[in-house]
Amino acid sequence: MLMAEAALAGAVAVALFVREFPSLRREMRIWRMAGGLRAGRRYP
């Protein structure tokens, strides 16, 4: 039972990740253009 629940949760997580992936990729590109980790202190 626990394995089935874990598999279901994993499938839902993967589905969400795949659905959000294009926007995540766009966010990463914007984030890198803004300076990445180093910019974290400049833009709180």
Q: pLDDT per residue over 1-44, tens digit each?
A: 899 999 999 999 999 989 988 888 898 888 888 876 665 566 55
Could you tell me where the DSSP H helices lie in 1-44?
2-33
Give the largest CA-CA distance in the chain: 48
**Cα angle at 32 between 37 and 42, to 5 degrees?**
45
Helix (H, G, I), strand (E, B), or coil: what is residue 42? coil
Q: Specify the pLDDT at position 19.
A: 92
